[in-house]
Structure 1
Amino acid sequence: MEETRKDTILVVDDTEANIDILLDILEGDYEVGVATDGESALEAVAEELPDLILLDIMMPVMDGYQVCEQLQSDEKTRDIPVIFVTALEQQESETRGLGLGAVDYITKPFNPEIVRLRVENHLKLVRANQALKRQNEILIENERLRNDVESIARHDLKTPMNALISIPELLLKEKGVTENQREMLEMIAQSGFRVMDIINSSIDLYRMEKGEYRLRPVPIDLLKILKQLKGEIIHLMGEKEIPFRILIGGKYAKEDDSFIVYGEEMLYYSLFVNLVKNAVEASPPGRSVTVGLDIKGDTPIIMVNNTGLIPDEIRDTFFDKYVTHGKPDGTGLGTYSAKLITKTLGGEISFQSVEEKGTTLMVELHDNLKKENAEEAFDKFFEQSPLQIKNLSKKTNMTIMILDDYAIMRGTIVSILRQMGFKNFIRGADGMEGLKQLQVKQVDLIISDLNMPKVNGLQLLKHVKKSETLGHIPFMMVSGEAEQRKVEQAVKLGVDAFVVKPFSADILMKKLARVLDRADQQEG
């Protein structure tokens, strides 16, 4: 059986009688060391750190105050609790000692019980502080691990996911796609969105909880997202024979309709896959689930309705974490994540659940389109559309450099740009390759990943923007990491656009349209 380690105490006193008394009081319970002057005390501490020091004040050559000062000045010893032992009863001496960092005083002649209790109490505090320190170290390590996992998820997982989301979208726009092929491509895209929803649920929600999530808003067609998520829950709707309806301004949505809001595509997908799926699960069989889209004043409003009712016992805590009802496998995170995402998008979420109308969840995006620029925001969206790029036919011969350490990502971007009509591309796996190509070839646009080996995107951006011969080249940064510090670095260095992975073909097209339009204005 392992022997329990005894706490160690160093007694420092130049009087042998005092040492003997303290040894008699403490030796049975603790490992006790002895020093008879200040210098030997510091030597003993340097050799082995005690858990507590009983330090006499009045000693020749180096008194207790000087010893305490030395201990406090050293990072290795400043946390050792020091209890002064003194015959002095003046308030000034006690004040001075506590000011130097001592934790307590014991006066001579010694009361054995008081000595034992004060030593015991301070050692308990030492153990508690050590436990807290270890816990903090574990938490810091866990935080570091979480950040490492997040970085892996954002770069190593989100980058390949971009192909699953973007390539089916590109192929669906091609002529001659059969109905069967269309269904399979839609399933691939839906699977990509679902995997991204899982990744985001564990990573982005954590940042939202901490208030550290940085929103990168772009125009989003919410109707397109609702059609995508319909494919994910179509099996569940079929089992319960539930019709799914989408209304815009109270009228059934048409195939060519759109409903534009600002935000991030994956956040809206995660938000409404939760709300719509919950609505289908809660709906009685054969009853419809309706999503209504409308704009009141300058506020986009999205309502999700089903004819079921929210149980009375969870209505007051409906949006709280881990609240669930009637789902054996439910996590209770669906509505909680919906609340966090809605808040991140600049809105608020509420519900109404009454017998006559069923349950309606309402998302009001108050800060999504400000009143003074609502029309401008919608106009800007259509101005940014790839179909609206001015003089596109003259720009399709421009040379675009695409740098990413993931070959499929490079291929995906090239495919999107080819569909827009662009023809000339230079590809590279890192910034070093990009720098070499820039020395020998004319480049009209750079699209670069942020995290790459050898020379990363930020280093390349800095080189390009500081160069007299290259500084005019528009530079787009693509990354799975939207960490605020790195985004701000890129902006400070002069990046022209920042695209967060995974992105759809439409998002890249709109960002590129804005960059090219801005470049035209600067040349003009």
Structure 2
Amino acid sequence: MKRQTVMIVDDTPANIEILSESLGDEYELFFATSGFDALELIRADKPDLILLDIMMPGMDGFELCRILKGEPSTRDIPIIFVTAMIEEEQEIKGLELGAIDYLTKPISPHIVRARVKNHLELKRYRDLLETLASAADRAKKEFLRSVSHELRTPLTPIIGMTDLVLTQEEDDNKRKYLGMVQKSATRLLGIVEDLIETSRLEGEGGAPENAPFHLKSFLDMVVMEARAMADAKGLTFNVHLDAALPEVVVTDQAMLHKVLTMLLGNAVKFTPAGAVGLEVCRQEIAGEQMLQFSISDTGVGIDEADLERIFSDFTQSDGSITRSYPGLGLGLTLARRMTELMDGSIWAENAPNGGSVFQLQIPLVLPDEIAPVSGC
């Protein structure tokens, strides 16, 4: 097994010598006598653990720790401070910066060996768990991708043949049963399509295809589809469009349509009676122009503890097997990922008088703001 690596950063050669002798030949050791040299070496070849002196000229240990913990490639390296200072404020500062432990001078070889060994063992287990989790995640995605495509292959002809028979069947009972088959198969196909889309976004990334389109016509289509769902359930559908909305916007129209359809479909699904609403307005947030979509309902609402969790894979607010509302819980996951691809944000809130409100924000980009593509 490859020896684990430890970097010792100290501007005093005598301290480096003591630490080196304390660790013996069990680890591969690297040395640096300044924060600047250490930073360069660590970025080039990341050690498994760092023993870091605090008091050094130029860049002290606290500053080096702050930089390392701020960079994604080095933030997970365990850092143990080596210092003669034992003031509580200094200890708290180091731990808040991300250090995992302290060694105090004068250095005890036995304590050095024990603490380095324990922390490296913990790191080894953590790295192993991360590797196993990553492998399990890849296996899950591959399984979903494979199974989803295998399920879609027979479902499409089932729905098609059911449609064909329904156009020719005159017996009312048979048409009723065929309609139930068609409805169930269509619902199952929708679940399969969500699984396929989830796998696609996780694998390929699904870069948005931004293009200009007429916002009012787009919203008219969204409203028409949502109103039909609401009418079928006997719900009131309220719409408010900001008069300041631009005529033409630039984003991925298909992606935005899918997100809004999911949110409005959920609003109708989880509202037994009452109303569903869509409000679209233009907002300025931190100096940036945004399009904000608010989808409200008077439905069952969401537990406060679930407001964030519902955007995770395979999650519903009611996760019990006897829940009243079926589904895999992938809709909001897809909505979040697509929103992030459009550089936007999405979140849920509980309405003051019951029900819930889903907020969707995406950057408001106008056609004249698109940078021209240079030719050759």
TM bin (shorter chain): 0.3 to 0.5
Provide the TM-score with structure 2 as the length reference: 0.47
Q: Which structure has the bigger radius of gyration?
A: 1
